[in-house]
Structure 1
Amino acid sequence: MTPLDLRADIPALEDAVYLNTGASGPSPRRVVTAAETFLEHHEFEAPTAEGMYTAAFDAYDDVRATVAEFLGAEPSEIALTQSTTDGINRVACALEWTTDDVVVRTDLEHPAGILPWQRLERTRGIDVRVVGSDAGRLDIDAYRAAVEDAKLVCVSSLTWNYGTRLPIETLVDIAHDAGALVLVDAVQSVGQTSVDVHEWGADIVAAAGHKWLLGTWGAGFLYVSDDVIDTLNPRTIGYRGVVTPTDETYEFEPGARRFEIGTTNPAPYVALQTAIETLDEIGLGTVESRIQQLTTRLVNGVPDDRLLSPTSPESGLVTIDVDDPSTTVDLLKEANIVIRSLPDPDAIRASIHVFNTQEDIETLLPSSRTRGDSAP
């Protein structure tokens, strides 16, 4: 499959220039069809054939194996969740917290990496330390000082507001030297760049399929290293997370599956599996190189004093300073160009994926100028 083959299979692109994958990616027909086909089988045929639970559990197992291979992990290290936020919350609730505990995050985190710790700060009295940044870059010395006595570090692999790649392996090493666990929000990485969780060395990685993977909503995944799984005791429990649900005394699954709870619709996970297989057909090398080429063209067309993302792009996310972000987004939408505004920085952000074209980029550049805005 080529990038243009993928583009032709995405109905949302027929009438608009879509540059908002960092928020949510438009699914190809084949991904939605896979979900629909499975759902019909599960509801129409499985009840009197292999059984609805067997069909669902077989699908869960297949999807875990696909996600594990995609991340360089083992299937036992993968739990299926509903979203990145869901996965982070499950981890936050699986640790014992006291008023002496410290969580470190950066000021570059999505609300998914902020709100769970704010809640623990309010309910458990933990200390949440925020490492500041400058244009998407962390001060490593400040980070090292912050994690010195931390229990857990939560950090994004790729920042949603600047499109910068953080040095995850270095951050993990520093945190581990201090005795802290590391949870990585990788939702902006998976699907636009290769991810090997074992190379990162992170203890936990949370992500979802509805952005750069181009899956549907409702399918997330959580990697939990076998080395730390026994330190995590989920607060919620159900038959999918224990060894034998009918035993009088329960025993959690030995791996990450302990974070799975009960009955969830398998169809979004089938969509996730098909989405991963689709990008594998294209090749992540092709994805990365095409994103780099198209994003470079975009940043070269933005005045230097308006570009907030790196001049040498590190991802498909490009953040641009404009006079009125909300109005700019609305005006572009009227011209069938879809981007989004950001709260911090107060700017607009374009997301460039492998299905985008040079024509998409050229359409965006003059459109903003002709509507009275000074950039891009």
Structure 2
Amino acid sequence: MTHATIPFREGFPALRNQTYLSICDKMILHRQVRAEVETFLDALADASASRTQHETRVTACRERFAALVGARPEEIAVGRNVSDGINATIWAVDWREGDNVVLSLDLEHPNNAYPWLRLRERGVELRSIPARDGRLDYAALIGAMDDRTRVLTCASVSFAPGFRADLERLGQAAHRRDALLVVDGVQTAGILQHDLHAENVDVFVTSTSKGLLGLYGFGFQFVSARCLDRLRPAYLSRPAVASDNEDHSAMGSEAYRLQPDARRFEVGSYNLAGAYAADAAMALLAQLGAETVEARALDVAARLRTGMVELGLPDVAMPGPAEVSHLVTAGPLDAGGHGYSDTRWVTDLSAALAEARIAHTVRRGQLRFGTHAYNIDEDADRALDVMQTVRRAA
């Protein structure tokens, strides 16, 4: 553990009384993040800051997120969550009957499934490619695209079984068809490194409620300059309109122009508490460095994954070199669902882990863990000890 990691870990009160291996479910708050939210609340209570002063935090966290994912600040819109970003993207495309979307519904979270399914109402075809052993079938996905494909979409890491997608390969294939690569990045943002331009991503959406260590109801939508002018937002409000006056209550000309950048996707007032939290959280991540964050999360995940294999747990998801992520899963895929499993040993292990105050989840019937930079080797060892005890008693 690096010297920089020690105060980072110590800043999370939740880690005092539990082993938290569930960033794939939700964040835990660092003391400095909570303090910044309280700063915002104090300013509201005292009426000591103007809206413009508060919004400097929006600008700051926009810049921090851009730096984190290899983007430019003007390519980042501030929104609420993945659902907002996906829907905003979908309804900004000029769909024509007979167009199609290529995806793998088997591997998508419902929030990156239902919005695309609704396009059937407009005569858009969904070409869903079955997963292969819990993995994207790259050859089939690429082969399913044609000249009427408008979008190829996937998650940067599947929420189960937790394999990382080869975005660069998918983006290259999409661009050959003049299609967009749209990515649900909530499982990786703030944990695994991204260079969205190098990865050929056109749209990347996330919230701050997982690896970015912020609040619910605040998120980001990256829109590459490459495709910006191909998208016309369905919703429009004052922040999305270009004007010499930055006062959001000031009406400009009726002959309005959209913002020249991703801000055209921003709607209404910002979640300012979320901006304060995101700014503070990403400052902490920047102090550690993206390389350190990823390395620490992957090291602990690898220790946990290897130990589970050594315990003889069936169906431990074993990623290839390009698929490795901070998620670790075990158990038959889809033998159960959200929060439950039809597999007895998964249920038994989950109950024992919960009793030992080791945070985890069950998703698609699988036992699931997720690591971050605050995790240490001892966290993995403690979970393995509990699982070993249960297995020996079985």
Tell me how far 1:181 sits from its aligned partner: 1.1
1:21 is matched with which residue: 4, 11, 23? 23
Letter in 1 for 2:297: I
Matched residues in 2 for 1:135 and 1:281: separation?
A: 38
Q: What is residue 236 of structure 1 aligned with on the other side?
A: 235
Q: Cα deviations across residues 102-129 of structure 1 (Å, max 9, x unaligned)?
A: 01112322222111101222x2131111
Find the partner of 2:316 among 293, 307, 316. 307
Q: 2:290 and 2:143 mapped to 1: Cα distance? A: 36
Do 2:314 and 2:330's aligned partners in 1 also have CA atoms closer than 8 Å? Answer: no
Deviation for aligned residue 1:42: 4.3
- Amino acid across the alignment from 1:29: R
Match of 1:283 among 289, 300, 317: 289
Question: Offset at 1:55?
Answer: 1.9
Counterpart in 2 of 1:226? 225
Q: 1:350 deviation in Å?
A: 0.8
Whole-angstrom distance in 2 between the partners of 1:80 and 1:326: 39
Provide the identity percentage.
32
Deviation at 1:134, TM superposition (A): 2.1
- 2:195 maps to 196
> For 2:35, which of 22, 33, 36 is the aligned residue?
33
For this pair of structures, how many residues does the alignment match?
A: 368
Counterpart contact for 1:42–1:55, Cα < 8 Å: no
Residue 317, structure 1, aligned to residue 306, structure 2: no
Tell me the alpha carbon deviations over residues 250-307 of structure 1, each in whole angstroms, 9 at most, x when there is no partner. Answer: 2211111011111132121121121111011112222222223222221121126331
Identify which of 337, 354, 357 aligns with 1:336: 357
Instruction: Tell me what 2:383 maps to.
Output: 364
Residues 73-127 of structure 1: CA deviation (Å, up to 9, x unaligned)? 1111110011112111111111222331101112322222111101222x21311
Deviations 1:123-159 (A, max 9, x none): 2131111122223433322112112231111111222
Structure 1 stretches of 4+ with a deviation exceeding 4 A read 372-375
Structural mapping, 1:118-197, within 5 Å: 118-121=117-120, 123-149=121-147, 150-197=149-196
**1:273 maps to what in 2?**
279
The answer on whether the counterparts of 1:64 and 1:79 sit within 8 Å (CA) in structure 2 is yes
Give the letter for the 1:96 counterpart.
Answer: D
Q: 1:304 to 1:329 in 2, by over 3 A?
A: closer
In structure 1, C-alpha distance between the alignment counterparts of 2:164 and 2:393, rounded to whole Å: 27
After superposition, give the CA deviation of every residue in 1:347-372 in whole Å (9 maximum; x if it has no partner): 11011222112221111112134345
Please report how far the alpha carbon of residue 66 of structure 1 lies from its aligned counterpart in structure 2 after TM superposition: 1.7
Worse-matched range after superposition: 63-72 or 176-185: 63-72
RMSD: 2.1
Q: 1:257 to 1:162 in 2, by over 3 A?
A: same
- TM-score, normalised relative to structure 2: 0.87
The one-letter code sitting in structure 2 at the alignment partner of 1:307 is: V
Which residue identity does 1:85 align to in structure 2? S
CA gap 1:172/1:16 in 2 versus in 1, 3 angstroms: same
Q: Do the aligned partners of residues 138 and 208 (structure 1) sit closer, same or farther apart at CA in structure 2, a change above 3 Å counting?
A: same
Q: Report the AA paired with residue 130 of structure 1.
A: S
1:96 aligned residue: 94
Aligned partner of 1:351 among 370, 379, 386: 370
In the alignment, the residues of structure 1 paired with residue 109 and residue 9 of structure 2 have an alpha-carbon distance, to the nearest angstrom, of 28
Give the letter aligned to residue 316 of structure 1.
H
CA distance in 2, matches of 1:42, 1:68: 28
* Corresponding residue of 1:67: 65
Q: 1:38: how far off?
A: 2.4
Deviation at 1:326, TM superposition (A): 4.8
Alignment partners' CA distance in 1, 2:79 and 2:266:
7
In structure 2, C-alpha distance between the alignment counterparts of 1:273 and 1:247, rounded to whole Å: 33
Deviations 1:20-61 (A, max 9, x none): 1011121101011112212322452445xxx32x12332222
Deviations 1:135-192 (A, max 9, x none): 3433322112112231111111222212212111111001111121111111122111
Quote the Cα distance in structure 2 between the aligned partners of 1:161 and 1:75. 31
Contact 1:242–1:253 at 8 Å: present in 2 too? Answer: yes
Label 1:233 to 1:58 Cα distance change in 2 as closer, same or farther (>3 A). same
Distance 1:226 1:339 in 2: 38
Matched, 1:216 2:215: yes
Q: Could you tell me which runs of 5 or more consecutive residues in structure 1 were left unpaired when the two chains were aligned.
A: none
> Conserved in 2, the CA contact under 8 Å of 1:46 and 1:55?
no
Taking the aligned partners of 1:309 and 1:27, their CA distance within structure 2 comes to: 30
